[in-house]
Amino acid sequence: MSGTVPGDPSGCSQLGAELRSRAAELLDLHARLAEQQSAGSRGRRRAGPDPVLMEQHRLSLDTVAVRLDVAGASLQLYAQELAGLAEEVRRLELAASAVGLELDGLRVVEPWGVAAPDVARVRLDALPELQRRSERVASRLGRARGSLRRALDEGRAALEDTATGIRRSLG
């Protein structure tokens, strides 16, 4: 049995980078739309999109870009935390193995079978500290997941509000 930290740091980091790239593209589009709107307002007035509506859509685009960037950054931070936790679990597994213990997920356990009294004493002495280390890893993982969840939930709510606003403006 072995200890593992569930999650894919590489995949989270790649997704985060992709979201941040898309956010940068949207911010670039936002700037180009602002230039076009500014150039249009300096030229003679002609029939075209309602300037107020255009401004609302530019602001919506800005909101989407910012939320994608925040989500991407949150995923990248989570990926870093996962990678650090995976390394901590690896060290914990080595420490447990050195005294004849094993990791079952994030629980430190004794292997099946009979142990000599001196081996059993070493295991018994080491078990509480190793389990505390394991629990700290689990706690850090929980905090990292909670932080990511909050960031993504806030982003989802903001995007839902933005989508509702766009739908209303389009009639």
DSSP for 137-149? HHHHHHHHHHHHH
Q: What tokens does 133 get? A: 């280390």
| pLDDT tens per residue across all 171 residues of the chain | 566 677 899 999 999 999 999 999 999 988 887 787 777 666 555 556 677 777 788 888 889 999 999 999 999 999 999 999 999 999 999 999 999 999 998 999 999 998 899 999 999 999 999 999 999 999 999 999 999 999 999 999 999 999 998 888 877
Find the helix or strand (DSSP H, E) in which 109 lies. strand 107-109
Q: How far is CA 3 from CA 55, 101, 131, 143, in A?
A: 53, 12, 12, 19
